[in-house]
């Protein structure tokens, strides 16, 4: 199966660009309005500069935040939550120092206005308190966008079976030879190198539009294939569809617990957690029968 390098979903930068633009506009308006209530009329230029420089640095840090959520999903092992808590510190330091450098460059070197941004302990504590809230909001945005886009892609690609006319003759099924399933295939990594992946080493697979993301021993690989097509090439005695967007290696399942609305939650050996929909419960139990 041919591999493919990771493709950036154009919808993500578009949505984040809109969110950042709205945030810059509203925060700038609030800053000007607050000063007006204090009896001090200020121009829009200064608060607009502050917000733009701050959001530029946040946008630059956003890919690292996505990588952190992919490598240490919050819904995975308990230690992943501690990784994100600790990650607020470097996030705040990089955000504060980055926006300070941009403001010094723009105001002092370009505009010609005297500006000073002392990185004192008090200032770092103040910025950390704000960045803690920002990190929580960004995390919520990352998870919410992933969930919404995943549901949209799954609904868009889900095949619709046309109804069979009542008068139409029922076709006689013709047995076809079962194609040999590959034991391994090659995936192209970023940079052009290729890695051979054994089918048995795949922990689980998730759908991502026209791509499928393979989770293999803590690493992720993206290939250009629908989940339905890839499912047909996997060993049905080893891999099972548990959700319209997830396929798991039954040998990698560590625990299954009740969830909401009749669904169940599967915890894999790598710490990841995926939903087991009621629709696929019978398939799952066919490979892992329940014994009370």
Cross-sheet strand order for the sheet of 246-249 = 219-223, 211-216, 204-208, 246-249, 239-243
Q: Which range marks the domain in which residue 84 is found?
A: 11-156
Statement to judge: residues 38 and 149 lie in one domain: yes
**Residues 190 and 86 occupy one common structural domain:** no
Half-sphere exposure of 13 (CA within 13 A, CB side): 9
Domain boundary among 156, 177, 208: 156
Q: How many domains does the chain have?
A: 2
Domain assignment of residue 64, yes or no: yes
Q: Flag whether the pTM goes above 0.85.
A: no
Percent of the chain with pLDDT over 70: 84
Task: Report yes or no: 186 and 196 within 8 Å, Cβ to Cβ.
Answer: yes
What is the Cα–Cα distance from 93 to 184, expressed in whole angstroms?
Answer: 44
3-state SS assignment for residue 221:
strand
Gap between the Cα atoms of 286 and 292, Å rounded: 15
Give a yes or no: residue 177 inside a domain.
no
Whether residues 201 and 143 share a domain: the answer is no
Same-domain pairing of 16 and 149: yes
Flag whether 215 is in a domain: yes
The verdict on residue 2 lying in a domain is no
- On the question of pLDDT at 197 being above 50, the answer is yes
Q: Is the pLDDT of residue 53 over 90?
A: yes
Nearest to 178 by CA among 241, 233, 240: 233
Burial of 196 (0-12, 13-18, 19+ CB in 10 A): exposed
The CATH number assigned to the domain holding 196 equals: 2.40.50.1020
30 shares its domain with 118: yes
Convert the pLDDT of each residue in 224-248 to its tens digit: 888 888 888 888 888 999 998 899 9
Based on the domain organization, do 44 and 84 belong to the same domain? yes
In a domain? residue 162 = no
The model's confidence at residue 174, banded by pLDDT at 50, 70 and 90, is low
Q: Tell me what percent of the residues of the chain surpass a pLDDT of 90.
A: 24
pLDDT value at residue 184: 80
Residues 133 and 191 in one domain: no
User: Do residues 24 and 150 share a domain?
Assistant: yes
Cα 17 from Cα 145, distance rounded (Å): 13
Given 156, 176, 207, the domain boundary residue is: 156
- pLDDT of res. 177: 60
Which has the closest alpha carbon to 74: 290, 280, 271?
271
Residues 146 and 195 in one domain: no
Both 152 and 16 in one domain: the answer is yes
Kindly state whether residues 191 and 125 are assigned to the same domain: no
- Parallel, antiparallel, or unpaired: how do β-strands 253-258 and 246-249 relate? unpaired
Residue 171 lies in a domain: no
Separation CA 146–CA 134 (nearest Å): 18
Both 120 and 46 in a single domain? yes
Domain end: 141, 156, 171, which one? Answer: 156
pLDDT at 60: 94
- The better pLDDT of the pair 292, 85 is held by 85
Residue 265 · residue 276 · CB < 8 Å: yes
Average pLDDT over residues 171-195: 70
């Amino acid at each position: 199966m041919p591999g493919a390098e990771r493709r950036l979903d154009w919808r993500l930068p578009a949505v984040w660009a809109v969110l950042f633009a709205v945030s810059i506009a509203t925060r700038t308006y609030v800053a000007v309005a607050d000063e007006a209530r204090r009896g001090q009329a200020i121009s829009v230029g200064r608060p607009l500069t502050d917000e733009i420089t701050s959001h530029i640095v946040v946008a630059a840090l956003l890919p690292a935040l996505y990588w952190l959520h992919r490598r240490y999903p919050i819904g995975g092992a308990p230690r992943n939550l501690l990784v994100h808590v600790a990650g607020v510190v470097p996030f705040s330091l990089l955000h504060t120092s980055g926006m300070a450098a941009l403001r010094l460059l723009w105001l002092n070197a370009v505009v010609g206005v005297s500006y000073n941004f002392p990185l004192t302990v008090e200032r770092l504590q103040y910025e950390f308190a704000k960045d803690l809230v920002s990190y929580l909001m960004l995390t919520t945005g990352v998870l919410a966008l992933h969930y919404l886009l995943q549901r949209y892609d799954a609904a868009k690609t889900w095949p619709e079976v046309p109804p069979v006319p009542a008068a139409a003759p029922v076709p006689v099924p013709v047995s076809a030879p079962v194609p040999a399933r590959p034991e391994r295939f090659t995936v192209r990594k970023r940079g052009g190198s290729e890695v051979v992946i054994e089918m048995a080493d795949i922990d689980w697979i998730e759908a991502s539009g026209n791509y499928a993301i393979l989770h293999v021993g803590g690493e992720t690989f993206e290939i250009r294939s629908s989940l339905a097509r890839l499912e047909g090439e996997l060993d049905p005695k080893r891999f099972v569809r548990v959700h319209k967007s997830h396929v798991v290696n039954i040998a990698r399942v560590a625990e299954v617990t009740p969830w909401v609305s009749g669904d169940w939650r599967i915890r894999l050996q790598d710490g990841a957690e995926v939903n087991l929909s009621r629709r696929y419960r019978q398939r799952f139990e066919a490979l892992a029968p329940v014994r009370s």
